Amino acid sequence: MRKNCDFGGLASLLASLPGMRREELLEQWYALYDGDPPFKISQQLLIQAIAYRMQEHALGGLKPSTRRFLAKAAEEIHANQKITTPPATIKSGTRLIREWRGKIHEVMIVEEGVLFQGRQYRSLSEVARLITGVKWSGPLFFGLKVADKARAA
């Protein structure tokens, strides 16, 4: 959800933060967070938190679906469970790049599948098989999915 915003004004406010004295930053914090900052917060973290909140106010915060995912992930971590990640959705026009045995391979996602070296394929897995010569999960090969072994570690 994007709110009306003067991007130039926001950019200049953000650019001015590193030059502010700590007292000025604390005033900004109180105005934006309506409370005290964490005890012994570093200057850099104070600036980053203020900048985030300014952008959040100007441009809108996280989408409700992202908030739900983060809340669920926090519960799973607290319960010592594996975090369930939503499946990746890739928009048409997205380019994926993978190095394989010293050679760079680039694919483009299109509505009907995947473009690779001027030809269209049905899936990333089909392209991964073509590149490697063996059966591969395309999303795993192009880094869209983490292998279960890596996830467990």
Q: Which residue has the tokens 């203020």?
A: 50
Could you say which DSSP state residue 93 is in?
Answer: T
Strand order in the sheet with 113-116: 95-100, 103-110, 113-116, 119-121
CB 129 within 8 A of CB 114: no
Sign for the pseudo-dihedral over CA of 34, 27, 18, 58: positive
Q: Where are the domains of the chain?
A: 7-59, 95-152
Tens-digit pLDDT profile for residues 5-57:
677 788 999 999 999 999 999 999 999 998 899 989 999 999 999 999 999 98
